[in-house]
Amino acid sequence: MGDPVLHGLSRSVYTRIARLALEEKGVRYTLEEVEIFGPDGVPKEHLARQPFGRIPALTHDGFTLYETGAITRYVDEAFTGPRLQPREPPARARMNQVIGIVDSYCYRPMIWGVFYARIVAPAERIQPEEGHLAQSLAKCRSCCRALEEILGSQRYFAGGELTLADLHVAPILLYFSITREGVETLSAHPRLRAWLDDMAARPSVQLTKGKYELAQ
């Protein structure tokens, strides 16, 4: 089989989730940067891969796939390397639950709410809307409470082994954690903070740092 190509943006949390799965499995791959936020919109060639214009998408030996959860599961099942999905139904269900929580409740307030307002907007000389920020932060706090409750005293979200759940949470919490609100919120959740510090030290996470983390 040939090496897969991941089409996305190095600064994108969802592209990074897919990259983390590839790195943890030890898969050689190419990241093809696709700027979907440029003045001309989503490139036509990317719309041919992803009709909704989102990132990432994966191409591998003539097979094209989009949606991050589908990509990471494919990577885990198509390549040799450490298992990233539990065999036991309860642990597998917990993994899927955490991924669902992140997608449904954490991503938008943490990234497009707090992170955008505090990191991206100032760099682009945009004045953030403080009301939206406050609403987003309240949701972020609820997310951190829920995630810490699920994590409990375990090393990882689904138990003692790293799974796709951990790879799904890490990029989003890492961006949130470089804002002052993120620092304050995580300080109230020491187990979640310790988990994030543990994840941040992994080689896969270090290798996939984007420009915002590298600027810190």
pLDDT at 127: 83
Give the C-alpha separation, 92 to 59, whole Å.
26
The mean pLDDT value of the chain amounts to: 96
Give the C-alpha separation, 130 to 136, whole Å.
10
Closest CA to 143 of 180, 178, 114: 114
Give the C-alpha separation, 39 to 64, whole Å.
26
Q: Which fold has domain 5-78?
A: Glutaredoxin (3.40.30)
pLDDT digits (tens, 9 = 90+) for 117-147: 999 988 878 887 888 899 999 999 999 999 9
For β-strands 57-60 and 63-66, DSSP reports them as antiparallel
Q: Is the pTM of this model over 0.85?
A: yes
pLDDT digits (tens, 9 = 90+) for 81-109: 999 999 999 999 999 999 999 999 999 99
- Whose tokens are 């191409």? That residue is 59
In CATH, what class is 89-214?
mainly alpha
In the chain, residues under CATH classification 1.20.1050.10 are 89-214
- State the distance between the two ends of the chain, measured CA to CA, in whole angstroms: 39
In the chain, residues under CATH classification 3.40.30.10 are 5-78
